[in-house]
């Protein structure tokens, strides 16, 4: 079995802004469960330093010009016991605010240093003499997103091409673009700054560096792996990805079934399962009470959304049709944060129908669980979606997703059709065109089917019975690791 260093810039539940945090928490554990020795490398943000209380090994590493007070400490994750190396560099990571932004939502001005340092530390750890000192000879470095994109570049230029490298794209829209003047401050040679290197339209691109130099590229669904090779979805990197298509695959994420399980979810009013859906009704009632939604007509369907409010998530397709659906008898439970203009629009709509629409702006893990359990229909009309987790949580919770046919949404939700509602295949509603009208028609179709309790429950059961566990994904990753370490 290969030894794997899994490098990530966030991890649930300590520091999370999106799906990457969930993946970093769950995939290494699933890999460990099938026998792979995986260790994490994380930045020493305050939450991580505190929770991991790293102690045993301290290794000082020369990182970037001017940044030499960095140490690698080892410890374990508090909840899963996963072994973790923490890059402790107070100047870069010990500050209040988010992992990428300050408390006011502005990007940290030294993000290029912060994540180049993380990448450099990973490349250094990969060196045989260092990993040997840690008693962990690394066979493969698994990088994630732009924050770790420079790992293979540092390997290429400074530390040797071993061990093997894999980069996973969780979202190609975020690339880590910086001015050319950063090249020397990150300790990269000018040789690297070209089309055949880290340069991207005159800038230094962390993600492009990873995609160019890594031995293999992976993304989080087979459909997204295809889509990013097109101009529409590739965010300028489609040419390079097309060129590297023989070293590009997609493996679907799983969901953490410890955290997301309606039978043992601490956040819920009542547990339930595929064999007994009665608890779902109690959660719906509790959700209405918590959010101040009218209980006059308990059989009305509730639509839910839990999302970052960005153009990616297609919230602008939803906003114009909310009142139409409310007039048809629907209610809404929306939880999200992000774009201020969208937050304002949502607040206004909620004020128009306070008893039918609830909008919670902010990040609320507990409410996210209660929405998944308490609503009937989940909206996810994303413009693009590398994998998406919330549609899988929904199906697992007997909540029927309405998704746009893109990326992981296309790979995980099977559209209802007259022929597949009886045969266990259909799990939700899938539409193609990026249009509010089409979304509205699909939502109305869902409301119509919702009235047929028997068919609806069939749909719920199909989704709840699907296997979204990490075990399957972990096995796919192991196959890929083995290929990269032993067959290349």
Q: Toward ligand ADP, which CB reaches closer, 21 or 75?
A: 21
**Residue numbers at the binding site for ligand ADP (CB under 6 A):** 18-19, 22, 306-308, 335-337, 363-365, 368, 387-390
| 107 beta partners | 101
CB of residue 303 vs ligand ADP: minimum separation in angstroms?
16
Q: Which residue, 172 or 183, is less far from ligand ADP as judged by CB?
A: 172
Q: How far is the CB of 63 from ligand ADP (least distance, A)?
A: 28
In 3D, which of 23, 30, 81, 21 has the Cα closest to residue 475?
Answer: 30
Min dist. Cβ of residue 389 to ligand ADP (A):
4
Residue 253 CB, nearest distance to ligand ADP (Å)?
Answer: 7
Are the C-beta atoms of 175 and 205 separated by less than 8 Å?
A: yes
Distance, CA of 325 to CA of 306 (rounded, Å): 18
Instruction: Tell me the β-bridge partners of 199.
Output: 204
By Cβ distance, which residue is nearest to ligand ADP? 19
Judged by CB, which is closer to ligand ADP: 387, or 426?
Answer: 387
Rounded Cα–Cα distance for residues 462 and 356 (Å): 29
Q: What is the DSSP string of 144-190?
A: ESGGGTTHHHHIIIII-S-SEEEEEES-TT---EE-TTHHHHTT--G
Show contacts of 268-276: CB within 8 Å, 24+ apart: 268/369, 268/370, 268/373, 269/370, 272/373, 272/398, 273/464, 274/398, 274/460, 274/461, 274/464, 274/465
Measured distance CA(208)–CA(319) in Å, rounded: 35
* Residue placing its CB nearer to ligand ADP in the complex, 131 or 223: 223
Closest CB to ligand ADP among 254 and 301? 254
Q: Between residues 54 and 314, which has the closer beta carbon with respect to ligand ADP?
A: 314
Closest CB 62 distance from ligand ADP, rounded Å: 34
**Distance of closest approach, residue 385 Cβ to ligand ADP, in angstroms:** 7
Rank residues 85 and 260 by Cβ distance to ligand ADP and give the closer one: 260
Shorter beta-carbon distance to ligand ADP: residue 244 or 308: 308
In the complex, minimum distance from the CB of residue 342 to ligand ADP, in angstroms, rounded to a whole number: 12
Nearer to ligand ADP, 159 or 405 (CB): 405
d(CA 52, CA 75): 6
Shortest spacing between CB 59 and ligand ADP, in angstroms: 32
CA-angle at 409, arms to 403 and 414, nearest 5°: 75
Strand 377-380 and strand 400-404: the pairing is: parallel
415: helix, strand or coil: strand
What's the closest the beta carbon of residue 22 comes to ligand ADP, in angstroms? 5
**Among 264, 284, 311, residue whose Cα is nearest residue 377:** 284
| Backbone angles phi and psi of 8, in degrees to 5 | -145, 155
């Amino acid at each position: 079995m290969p030894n794997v260093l899994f490098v990530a810039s966030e991890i649930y539940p300590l520091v999370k802004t999106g799906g990457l945090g969930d993946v970093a928490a769950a995939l290494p554990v699933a890999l460990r469960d099938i026998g792979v020795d995986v260790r994490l490398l994380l930045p020493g943000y305050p939450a991580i330093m505190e929770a991991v209380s790293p102690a045993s090994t301290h290794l000082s590493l020369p990182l970037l010009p001017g940044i030499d007070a960095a140490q690698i400490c080892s410890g374990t994750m508090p909840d899963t016991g996963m072994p973790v190396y923490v890059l402790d560099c107070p100047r870069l990571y010990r500050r209040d605010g988010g992992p990428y932004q300050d408390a006011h939502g502005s990007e940290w001005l030294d993000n290029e240093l912060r994540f180049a340092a993380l990448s450099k530390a990973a490349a250094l750890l990969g060196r045989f003499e260092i990993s040997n000192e840690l008693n962990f000879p690394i066979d493969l470095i698994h990088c994630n997103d732009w924050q770790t994109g420079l790992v293979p570049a540092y390997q290429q230029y400074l530390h040797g091409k071993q061990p093997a490298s894999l980069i996973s794209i969780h979202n190609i829209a975020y690339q880590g673009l910086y001015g050319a003047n950063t090249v020397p401050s990150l300790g990269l040679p000018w040789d690297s700054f070209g089309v055949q290197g880290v340069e991207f339209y005159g800038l230094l691109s962390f993600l492009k560096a990873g995609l160019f130099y890594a031995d293999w590229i992976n993304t989080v669904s087979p459909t997204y792996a295809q889509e990013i090779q097109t101009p529409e979805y590739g965010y300028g990197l489609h040419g390079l990805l097309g060129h590297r298509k023989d070293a590009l695959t997609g493996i679907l994420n799983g969901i953490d079934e410890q955290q997301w399980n309606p039978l043992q979810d601490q956040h819920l009013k009542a547990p339930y399962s595929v064999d007994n859906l009665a608890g779902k009704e109690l959660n719906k009632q509790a959700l209405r009470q918590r959010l101040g939604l009218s209980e006059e007509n308990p059989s009305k369907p509730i639509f839910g959304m839990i999302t970052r409010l960005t153009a990616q998530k297609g919230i602008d397709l939803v906003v114009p049709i909310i009142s139409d659906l409310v007039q048809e008898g629907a209610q809404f439970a929306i939880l999200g944060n992000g774009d201020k203009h969208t937050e304002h629009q949502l607040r206004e709509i909620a004020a128009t129908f306070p008893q039918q629409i609830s909008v919670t702006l902010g990040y609320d893990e507990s409410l996210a669980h209660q929405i998944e359990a308490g609503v009937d229909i989940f909206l996810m009309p994303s413009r693009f979606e590398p994998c998406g987790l919330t549609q899988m949580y929904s199906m697992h919770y007997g909540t029927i997703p309405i998704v746009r046919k893109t990326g992981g949404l296309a790979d995980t939700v099977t559209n209802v059709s007259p022929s597949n509602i009886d045969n266990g295949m259909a799990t939700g509603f899938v539409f193609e065109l990026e249009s509010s009208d089409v979304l509205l028609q699909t939502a109305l179709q869902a409301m119509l089917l919702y009235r047929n309790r028997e068919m609806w429950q069939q749909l719920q059961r199909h989704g709840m019975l699907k296997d979204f566990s990490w075990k399957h994904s972990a096995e796919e990753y192991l196959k890929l690791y083995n290929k990269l370490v032993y067959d290349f």
